[in-house]
Amino acid sequence: MTALSPLAPATFPSLPVLAGVRLAGHECGIRYVGRPDLLMVELAEGTAVAGVFTRSLTCSAPVDWCKQAVAKGRARALVVNSGNANAFTGSAGLASVERTVASAAELVGCRKSEVFIASTGTIGVPLPDEKITGQLGAVRGKLVTDGWGAAARAIMTTDTFPKGATRTALIDGRPVTINGIAKGAGMIAPDMATMLAFVFTDAALPAGVLQTLLSKGVGKSFNCITVDGDTSTSDTLLLFATGQARHARIEDAKDKRLADFKAKLNDLLIDLAQQVVKDGEGASKFVEITVTGAAGASAARRIGLAIANSPLVKTAIAGEDANWGRIVMAVGKAGEKADRDRLSISIGGVEVARDGQVVPGYDEAPVTRHMKGMDIVIAVDVGVGRGKARVWTCDLTHTYIDINGSYRT
């Protein structure tokens, strides 16, 4: 067991009951012993769903399934197992998904396309789906409305803390709740990190509106984090809306009455995404990188991620070294327009480079102090336009090598 991340929050937040959602974690013995490794969520009739998925071209069988199902826009059940990713398992993997879906659909009494599946853990090992289907009845008997903490724990792999967040928003003057759980860039030998996040709201919003809000929100949250630049076969983010809240139904994502909901949803997505980074393998520092002056927002994001993914930048941060030369290098390799001779860089609020040169005689003392802290703030202006972005990452430490370089067997 890996030690608790030094960046972990003090406690798991208190997630309120959310009308139309019942959930439970369960031990089904897929890989782990003595801990829950199965999550089941049952959703009220009329629940709408939206999703975003890994861009990996070698995505897992569950991702293939969810991509198809989410297009229909309705959800009644979510089944998630940890311990086996059901990825790179060929036709056997697809058959496993189909059996699990059929079993859950029968139990809940819904269409197969209303059942969502996610798996995280070992790759390339056939999923023993009978361990899931054999336990679905039992776990359904345990469903409760306040099982959020247990749910967050059931989807953990090598996460060192469960991840959750909640927000309350107003739609047309009526309160709605948004609850989310996530698992992060943990690692299951012999496999890769997987990010799963499930967000639930009682808002009454159709799938198309949800999809628009989610796709937009993910662009400034989950798509702005990185631990090591590697892309899981299984990344899945689903947003379910049970429609139980008592506000006027809204059919247009541009409706002004959604402003507060959008803000709170985005805030919750950022919160969950940051928790994933804070549980990054071996992380000892949380790093926020703001890029301004880029040709556009996506150029800014790409520059930010080039900095955030640079092993040289990340090891310098681990070493508490305000090594802005490596930031210049990372800007240069991003492939996006930047004006070398107008580039400026601030670390911890102190401008260390301006107009493409070091600021002569800048005070190193506050910068050095900042680098010794756990929250590192870097700002870069690339001097060509008005595009901006914020991305988050963690440092690259010996513990990352320890975790990922250990023998598989």
- In the list 34, 91, 254, 361, the residue contacting its own copies (rule: CB under 8 A) is 91
- In the list 19, 44, 312, 379, the residue contacting its own copies (rule: CB under 8 A) is 312
Active-site annotation holder among 194, 226, 242, 393 = 194
- In the list 18, 75, 331, 376, the residue contacting its own copies (rule: CB under 8 A) is 331
Q: Which is nearer to its own copies, 78 or 127 (CB)?
A: 127
Q: Which is nearer to its own copies, 14 or 58 (CB)?
A: 58
Q: Which is nearer to its own copies, 67 or 262 (CB)?
A: 67
Nearest one of 393, 293, 286, 390 to 336, comparing CA atoms? 293
Decide if 258 contacts 213 (C-beta within 8 A). yes
| Number of residues near its own copies (by CB under 8 A) | 72
Q: Which stretch binds its own copies (CB under 8 A): 227-235, 257-265, 267-275, 294-302?
A: 227-235
Q: Which is nearer to its own copies, 319 or 366 (CB)?
A: 319
Min dist CB 396 to its own copies, Å, is 7
> Taking CB under 8 A as the criterion, which residues in 115-134 touch its own copies?
122-125
| The total number of residues written for the chain in this structure | 409
> Taking CB under 8 A as the criterion, which residues in 355-394 touch its own copies?
355-358
353 binds its own copies (CB under 8 A): yes
326 binds its own copies (CB under 8 A): yes
Q: Given the structure tokens 């949803």, which residue do they identify? A: 265
89 is catalytic: no
- In the list 15, 108, 376, 396, the residue contacting its own copies (rule: CB under 8 A) is 396
> Taking CB under 8 A as the criterion, which residues in 174-193 touch its own copies?
187, 189-193
Positions annotated as catalytic residues are 194
